[in-house]
Structure 1
Amino acid sequence: MKRSSKAHWIGDLNTGHGELTTQSLVLNKTQYSFNTRFADGIGTNPEELLAAAHAGCFTMALTYALSQLKLAVKDLETTAVVTVDLAKGGITGIDLTLNASAIAGLSEVAFHQHAHAAKQNCLVSKALGGIEINLTINYKQ
């Protein structure tokens, strides 16, 4: 399996702009620029897309693990926040926050164990080796 995306850029860094297109066309010439990355411009940026990818991958990994146990997943919602430290030259951490409804037949302790295993085993987490990934779990009874 291979997935692809394309970036197109016109102009210099500060005043130029670009477009991102994904193979699926979910993003189709989606705007990005210096302002969308480092200020408050309209459009997306690589760090926002990384956060979305990580939130999605982690949530699917956890759902898969629970499905393997024949457990019915009601509601999982993950927020990912990517921290960029320009002084250190890169991404310094990702905070995942998982909000979950109780799952029949699974204790809260067991749920936490599966969530932490999913954090370690999702493909995006593995690709980000060396970056600190924190997980906060809000498990609603």
Structure 2
Amino acid sequence: MIVNSGSARWEGGLKDGKGALSTKSGALSNQPYGFNTRFEGLPGTNPEELIGAAHAACFSMALSMILQEAGISNVKIETTSEIGLAKTDDGFAIKTAHLNTRIWGDGDKAVIEDCARKAEKGCPVSKVLNAEITMDVTVA
């Protein structure tokens, strides 16, 4: 089993507190986050943004494998994942993850779209999200 990790430090209350997060690889090191970066759009990151980046990256890698197995060549994939955070009766919950992917490749468009649907359901991050996951596909 491959194990990777991220870490976070938080000081203070919810609205006046500040945090920093890091990844095991060092790609992120003491990246600031807080209430204002999560709910007010100020500079810094937030958990949903990071989940979106992870989801887009995982999906794109899974799709490249599935396209290769289907014989699609000259592949280029650009993907975003929009993570929807909503207020619920007991706080907040991630309710949606919407993939938007644009795919270039030499092969049948219907086959490419089918491969994208397989990757949507099959990538490990899609599997871990307990949210409605949707997607728009554009084959260029």
Q: Same fold (TM over 0.5)?
A: yes
CA distance in 2, matches of 1:93, 1:73: 31
**Alignment partner of 1:115 is 2:116:** yes
* 1:60-118 residue CA offsets vs partner (Å, 9 max, x unmatched): 000011223443243210011111111363111111111112x22x2111111100000
**Alpha-carbon RMSD:** 1.3
User: What are structure 2's unaligned runs of at least 5 residues?
Assistant: none
CA distance in 2, matches of 1:23, 1:70: 35
Aligned twin of 1:92: 95
| Letter aligned with residue 93 of structure 1 | T
Aligned twin of 1:81: 82
Percent pairwise identity: 35
Q: Which has the higher strand share?
A: 2
Aligned twin of 1:125: 126
Superposed, 1:30-45 pairs within 5 Å as 30-45=31-46
Superposed, 1:49-68 pairs within 5 Å as 49-68=50-69
* 1:33-67 residue CA offsets vs partner (Å, 9 max, x unmatched): 01011112211000000000000000000001122
CA distance in 1, matches of 2:95, 2:70: 34
CA distance in 1, matches of 2:70, 2:139: 18
CA distance in 2, matches of 1:38, 1:81: 15
User: What are structure 1's unaligned runs of at least 5 residues?
Assistant: none
Describe the SS at the equivalent of 2:112: helix
> Contact conserved, 2:63 with 2:119, CA < 8 A, in 1?
yes
Normalised to the residue count of structure 1, the TM-score between the two structures is 0.91
CA distance in 2, matches of 1:122, 1:56: 10
Normalised to the residue count of structure 2, the TM-score between the two structures is 0.92
Aligned twin of 2:139: 139
Describe the SS at the equivalent of 1:60: helix
Describe the SS at the equivalent of 2:28: coil
Describe the SS at the equivalent of 1:115: helix
CA distance in 1, matches of 2:75, 2:118: 19
